[in-house]
A and B are shown apart, each in its own frame.
Chain A
Amino acid sequence: MFPKGTKRKFSDSREEPVAGGEDVNQSNLAAVRMLSSYSLQRQSLLDMSLIKLQLCHMLVEPNLCRSVLIANTVRQIQEEMTQDGTWQIMTQALSAANAAAQGSADRLVATEVLCRQTEAAQGEQVPKPFPVVGSEGCPAEEVAAAEVGMTMSTVSPQAPTSYLPGTFGMDPCWEEETGEDDDDEEDSEECGSGSEGEERERDSLVEDTRTAEQVFGTFEIKNPAPSPDPALEELFSDVDASYYDLDTVLTGMQSVPKMGPYDLLESLSSHGPSPLSSSTSCRSDLNELDHIMEIIVGS
């Protein structure tokens, strides 16, 4: 849908200054749509929500109501972003960032999965949400990493099945504790198996092998049992890292708010503008565009 220049632009912006001008026009459209103020603020809100979901309360079980509300907010943002196409941009930016940064086949597979996810999501009535699953119960290392935002990708491969969020487009994983009202000792289930839209079979497999479903931040995450299915593990490990790469992209973009997105977002929150109209209004000014591009580059 978008010219290749778009992908290059995002990945290049991380390592080198803005490249040749012939790509600028083509990337303008994507950049504009991404960076219209409403989109920025929405992105900030999304990022904030994801961080909230990830922050673990180490000792006490997190508040399920709060987690559900944040997850619904994330889902709502994702739905809107899917509708106006920015979701697609982000996915591709992510895959580009992945490909450029690591260049491994595994990553490409992962991003392909991601892209497939989002395409499937767009076709569905309710798009699969962002990896809304909070790793709220994640171990200390992951907690610290989450707050840093960048280093989690190094942590997750070591405990791939322990990290919940997994792919884009995975449904939120709400942990269920086994042995509910009655008896049973609960198995120390580990989370890390979300269900992907396309991998229903694996979902059932996962759910068979681990009797409990997942929930936001729980002990399962903290004490993961080794996955019985190495293929699944590998899949999730890829996905995990991809997620974190997205997170770095997002946090990178969030460094933008010199414009005070929260202030704007607050005012917008009571007006509920349509995203498309605001993006078209931004299209006109090239100077503003250059300014925005500088910000992407991360001045």
Chain B
Amino acid sequence: MAGVGGGNDFQWCFSQVKGAIDEDVAEADIISTVEFNYSGDLLATGDKGGRVVIFQREQESKNRPHSRGEYNVYSTFQSHEPEFDYLKSLEIEEKINKIRWLPQQNAAHSLLSTNDKTIKLWKISQRDKRAEGYNLKDEDGRLRDPFRITSLRVPVLLPMDRMVEASPRRIFANAHTYHINSISVNSDHETYLSADDLRVNLWHLEITDRSFNIVDIKPANMEELTEVITAAECHPHQCNVFVYSSSKGTIRLCDMRAAALCDRQSKFFEEPEDPSSRSFFSEIISSISDVKFSHSGRYMMTRDYLSVKVWDLNMENRPVETYQVHEYLRSKLCSLYENDCIFDKFECCWNGSDSAIMTGSYNNFFRMFDRNTRRDITLEASRENSKPRAILKARKVSTGGKRKKDEISVDSLDFNKKILHTAWHPKENVIAVAATNNLYIFQDKIN
């Protein structure tokens, strides 16, 4: 069956899976964010235990031209530690909420990682050469007696085992009273924004003791609070533009040139509610869990509980495209409210050319939509389909009474197996899908 994201013969294959196989999943190992860097050679994951694991793609082997390079562990480090807020007697979770790569400016790589309260800039550098033949010191580092030096020599660089080192270069702390849900690097490569439930702050990457508050939706009387910020992102090209989404299903686009405090939006995106489908859960399922600009900067995509919507930035009153992710859950909203699944925050992502979008669902299913052909496909991230280069079979959830063979009924779905985080390689058809504590990498089948 033809897949999505490329030509007609496109099919997705299993490539790799990372993580433990045990049924018993340690909470700390649950992956909480996945992000490719700008070139796609590095893939970073953050987990609930505050660790960051970076995978690097191996060079494509000339021996096996039909398979792309594999991703192997490049660096692992503890980004955040659990903290205790003594004033409030509350723990601050070390869970990594978001990772965002910075554009590479030298041999080292940099990324921002954040938990609920603190953002850190990490520099990941590698050494695979060392110098030998110093004049003033021995091979083991001891200083040589200057009187014993009789000749000068030029140190030579010799290869060594690659050593990757991650060091925290900046710590941006104490700027958020509420839980940080988003960070986004600006196109100027100098600033970035961070958003919590009620505020958005603008930082300079070099300055840690100060940030500008650019959005503040906290009401004077907290009792009047009915709406929170759920996600925010900088425009990919216009460094003065950013958007933030809300729990009421609205998106506000702001221009930082207009005012220092961007409380008044430049554009307000909201789709009018369909009165025939109104219920007590309407607001909850309209809450936007993720917002992403397209690479072109002309569109943005939002994810709410049941659907993904593509918006044209020039049209505020409705999205240009709407894709149903798992409409069969609409009749189950009460149960999903009861078990809290209705509050799950699914992310979404674009492919490199903005022709396809991907988002996750339950039962380790994830969905891809081709914007051009309007075709969609449901795939599953499971160990059963994990033979190398095995083609992924399309999955289907049966909604009616009769369940066809190979279909799965809605009541059999495992709501504990949720795919919240997915990432698409910026240039190629390679995707990373986080299924609880496992990271699956799929790629297109090279014909």
Seen from chain A, the residues whose Cβ lies within 8 Å of a Cβ on chain B are: 42, 45, 48, 52, 59-61, 63-66, 68-69, 71-73, 75-77, 137, 171-177, 180-181, 185-186, 188, 194-195, 213-215, 218-219, 222-223, 262, 265-272
Complex-state Cα separation, A52 to B343, whole angstroms = 12
CB-CB under 8 A for A63 and B226, given A262-B335, A262-B338: no
CB closest residue in chain A, given B225: A174
CB neighbours of A266 from chain B (8 A): 331-335
Asked whether, in the complex, the Cβ of B89 is within 8 Å of the Cβ of A222, the reply is: yes
Complex-state Cα separation, A271 to B338, whole angstroms = 19
Asked whether, in the complex, the Cβ of A48 is within 8 Å of the Cβ of B338, the reply is: yes
Complex-state Cα separation, A75 to B227, whole angstroms = 13
The digit string for B218-250, where 1 denotes a CB below 8 A from any CB of A, is: 100111111110100000000000000001000
Most buried by A among B88, B230, B340: B88
Complex-state Cα separation, A116 to B144, whole angstroms = 90
Asked whether, in the complex, the Cβ of B90 is within 8 Å of the Cβ of A61, the reply is: yes
CB closest residue in chain B, given A268: B279
Asked whether, in the complex, the Cβ of B338 is within 8 Å of the Cβ of A68, the reply is: no
Complex-state Cα separation, A238 to B255, whole angstroms = 50
CB closest residue in chain B, given A59: B91
Interface residues on B, range: 35 or more
8 residue pairs of the A-B complex, CB under 8 angstroms, read A61-B90, A61-B179, A64-B198, A76-B280, A175-B222, A219-B87, A219-B89, A266-B334
CB-CB under 8 A for A185 and B280, given A69-B343, A173-B222, A262-B338: no
Complex-state Cα separation, A181 to B216, whole angstroms = 11
Asked whether, in the complex, the Cβ of A272 is within 8 Å of the Cβ of B197, the reply is: no
Q: How far is the CB of A294 from chain B (nearest CB, A)?
A: 26
Asked whether, in the complex, the Cβ of B228 is within 8 Å of the Cβ of A267, the reply is: no
Q: How far is the CB of B304 from chain A (nearest CB, A)?
A: 12
CB neighbours of A270 from chain B (8 A): 277, 279, 330-331, 333
List residues of B (236-270) whose CB comes within 8 Å of A's CBs: 247
Complex-state Cα separation, A1 to B333, whole angstroms = 36
Seen from chain B, the residues whose Cβ lies within 8 Å of a Cβ on chain A are: 85, 87-93, 116, 174-179, 197-199, 201, 211, 213, 218, 221-228, 230, 247, 276-281, 283-284, 287, 330-335, 337-338, 340, 343
Complex-state Cα separation, A173 to B221, whole angstroms = 9
Instruction: List the 8 closest A-B pairs by CB distance, nearest first.
Output: A219-B88, A174-B222, A269-B279, A171-B223, A213-B222, A266-B334, A64-B197, A59-B91
Asked whether, in the complex, the Cβ of B343 is within 8 Å of the Cβ of A66, the reply is: yes
Among A71, A174, A181, contact of B213 (Cβ-Cβ < 8 Å): A181
Q: How far is the CB of B402 from chain A (nearest CB, A)?
A: 20
CB neighbours of B247 from chain A (8 A): 65, 68-69
Q: How far is the CB of A230 from chain B (nearest CB, A)?
A: 23
CB-CB under 8 A for A69 and B223, given A59-B91, A185-B87, A262-B334: no
CB closest residue in chain B, given A187: B87
Asked whether, in the complex, the Cβ of B343 is within 8 Å of the Cβ of A63, the reply is: yes
Most buried by A among B87, B197, B338: B87
CB closest residue in chain A, given B90: A61
Q: How far is the CB of A78 from chain B (nearest CB, A)?
A: 11
Complex-state Cα separation, A218 to B87, whole angstroms = 11
CB-CB under 8 A for A72 and B283, given A266-B332, A266-B333, A267-B331: yes
Among B90, B331, B332, B338, contact of A218 (Cβ-Cβ < 8 Å): B90
Q: How far is the CB of A177 from chain B (nearest CB, A)?
A: 5
CB neighbours of B89 from chain A (8 A): 219, 222-223
Asked whether, in the complex, the Cβ of B227 is within 8 Å of the Cβ of A68, the reply is: yes
Q: How far is the CB of A77 from chain B (nearest CB, A)?
A: 6
Asked whether, in the complex, the Cβ of A269 is within 8 Å of the Cβ of B283, the reply is: no
Q: How far is the CB of B40 from chain A (nearest CB, A)?
A: 32
Asked whether, in the complex, the Cβ of A213 is within 8 Å of the Cβ of B280, the reply is: no
CB neighbours of A76 from chain B (8 A): 280, 283
CB neighbours of B201 from chain A (8 A): 181
Most buried by A among B176, B218, B225: B225
Among A65, A77, A194, A218, contact of B287 (Cβ-Cβ < 8 Å): A65
Complex-state Cα separation, A296 to B218, whole angstroms = 43
Q: How far is the CB of A251 from chain B (nearest CB, A)?
A: 15
Asked whether, in the complex, the Cβ of B177 is within 8 Å of the Cβ of A181, the reply is: yes
CB neighbours of A64 from chain B (8 A): 178-179, 197-198, 228
Among A213, A265, A267, A269, contact of B221 (Cβ-Cβ < 8 Å): A213
Asked whether, in the complex, the Cβ of B223 is within 8 Å of the Cβ of A213, the reply is: yes
CB neighbours of B177 from chain A (8 A): 176-177, 180-181
Complex-state Cα separation, A137 to B179, whole angstroms = 16
Q: How far is the CB of A282 from chain B (nearest CB, A)?
A: 20
Complex-state Cα separation, A262 to B333, whole angstroms = 10
Among A59, A73, A181, A272, contact of B283 (Cβ-Cβ < 8 Å): A73
